[in-house]
Chains A and B, each alone.
Chain A
Amino acid sequence: MGTSITAETKAGGVHTAELALTINGRVQRLELDTRTSLLDALREHLHLTGTKKGCDHGQCGACTVLINGRRVNSCLTLAVMHQDDEIVTIEGLGSLDALHPMQAAFIARDGFQCGYCTPGQICSAVGMLAEVAAGWPSHATEDVASPRIALTDAEIRERMSGNICRCAAYPNIVDAIRDVAEGAPR
């Protein structure tokens, strides 16, 4: 049979579902309109406003979160699809007292100006470095059959192309990511 998620039809033909989402290690129980994107569940229902809404169409990357360790656009997926998944947002990566190395590197390298795209950039960069560690090739990889990836600036830029920065802090974003990839002490 189908889902374990219970659904109910409300006045006005709106359908709701009760579900449990695991976000930053905590199980959160919610009753949501089935139409609710994961992004809106995070921001509007759980008040985790670190994750940003930019375009809401998967074009800007501001809403990037990690699901089961993989970076995704939270605007283009439904909250109801993520029961049983481990979701990590910028709030779960680090805290003011204990920054994630990527957060620290963005500060050290001044990898932002207005900061709106930054949570998405950081979550994306963390997911991206995991992809590199797993040996995934990219469009910038000369020979996709090669098992080793040399993380050049061209590789970083290509792999981060799903995150737009309208302040164009790109050179410093690349520097920050390279620092973390190389384990630079900062």
Chain B
Amino acid sequence: MRPFTYERATDTQTAVTSVSRAGAKFISGGTNLLDLMKLEIERPTHLVDISRLPLKGIDDLSDGGLRIGAQVANSDLAAEARVRSRYPVLSEALLAGASGQLRNMASVGGNLLQRTRCPYFYYETADGCNKRDPGSGCAAIGGFNRTHAILGASGACIATHPSDMAVAMTALDAQIELLGADHTTRRIAIGDFHRLPGDTPQIETVLRSGEMITAVILPPPPPGQQRYRKVRDRASYAFALVSVAAIVAVEQGTITTARVAFGGVAHKPWRSVEAEAALTGRPATMATFRAAAEAAMANAVGRGHNDFKIELAKRTLCRTLAQTAQAE
């Protein structure tokens, strides 16, 4: 690990000022950043510890939504009674991620900023990775790519985003609140927060230099039942091969509202408006679910080892929708 100086921020305004210097980075739970610093993939020269900032509230909003402070621990958010009763898909997604120890450390803001677990980014550093070393190529294309993206990838990068939490937040239409280095705030829809890789896979979000995530805003829950389903190589404590967050309302056998987001398939949490359009107004039957799955994966591209993920994503969506619609 490279040497760095450290300061503990006590308020948000000085934190964004402190992080504006060259080489500075925020640290919160540290579960991803320190791991990457040990591997010298991340090399900050100054750390601004924001884990003690007063951003740990989970507050009711007047519209029936919820404002989640960016420093809320993943475990606290998953265990929060209002989340469990009104946004169970979010609790389920959080609980499907990482381990008990990591969820106790990891913050909501940090979870959104997790970096990919592509082995060529993380471990096989002798091989090319445009994310780690822009311009060096993508060793996953033509290499070992069993876990890689099937949607929205580019010739420069086929990495996936590792978060479960963000997939549920995408289905819930969350907004991300940001505080800028100029001390102004702005809100970004979560669907616009993470970027597709394109030619610049090293730029993963629309965060500006010095900007800090201060909160995640959940609008009131949409009607219907919510469910998160994750498929992985182990029963617990593994990243998703494919995951699905589904919210479905059924009235008299007809789907009236549908929200679908996938995890493990793209460089960002993948909202499928195609699947939602194929579900809305249709009978809640397996034929409809299958049609939605085909629509969701119409543009999916396999890279060899990960070809199976296309069919796996379809089946996972069908199974999740069947369970969700049945519970309605």
Taking Cβ atoms with an 8 Å cutoff, the residues of A that contact B are 1-5, 7, 9, 12-15, 17, 33-35, 37, 56-58, 61, 64, 70-73, 76-78, 80-81, 83, 124, 127-128, 131, 134-139, 141, 144-145, 147, 157-163
Contacts and interface: CB of A to CB of B under 8 A. Distances in A.
B100 A35 contact: no
B34 A77 contact: yes
B6 A3 contact: yes
Contacts of A33: 3
A83 B49 CA distance: 12
Contacts of B324: none
**Max chain A Cβ within 10 angstroms of own Cβ: one of B27, B29, B84:** B84
Interface of B: 1, 3-10, 14, 18, 27, 29-31, 34-35, 38, 47-49, 51, 75, 78-79, 81, 84-85, 88, 91-92, 95-96, 98-102, 104-105, 235-237
Contacts of B96: 139
A57 B92 CA distance: 25
10 contacts: A9-B5, A15-B6, A33-B3, A61-B99, A77-B105, A127-B100, A136-B75, A137-B78, A144-B92, A162-B98
A81 B102 contact: no
A83 B299 CA distance: 51
Contacts of B5: 7, 9, 15, 34
Given A2-B10, A81-B49, A136-B79, A73 B91 contact: no
Contacts of A34: 3-6, 47
Nearest to A74: B101
A134 B27 CA distance: 28
Nearest to A56: B38
Contacts of B7: 2-3, 5, 7
Given A137-B79, A145-B84, 4 more contacts: A9-B5, A58-B101, A76-B35, A162-B98
Nearest to A8: B5
A13 B99 CA distance: 35
B9 A161 contact: no
Contacts of A158: 235-236
Contacts of B92: 139, 144
B100 A76 contact: no
A175 to B, nearest CB: 19
Contact of A57 (B38, B48, B51, B78): B38
A147 B84 CA distance: 9
Contacts of A157: 236
A61 B7 CA distance: 28
B167 to A, nearest CB: 15
Given A78-B30, A78-B34, A139 B95 contact: yes
Contacts of B38: 56-57
A162 B27 contact: no
A76 B3 CA distance: 16
B224 to A, nearest CB: 15
A12 B2 CA distance: 11
Given A37-B34, A77-B34, A161 B237 contact: yes
A2 B18 contact: yes
Contacts of A2: 7-10, 14, 18, 48
B10 A71 contact: no
Kindly list the 6 A-B residue pairs having the minimum CB-CB distance in the complex, ordered from nearest.
A162-B99, A161-B236, A3-B8, A2-B7, A161-B237, A136-B79
Contacts of A159: 100
A52 B49 CA distance: 26
Contact of A78 (B3, B6, B14): B6
Nearest to B83: A144
Nearest to B95: A139
A162 B9 contact: no
Contacts of A4: 8
A166 B271 CA distance: 39
A71 B104 contact: yes
B3 A35 contact: yes
Given A76-B31, A137-B79, A137-B91, A124 B101 contact: yes
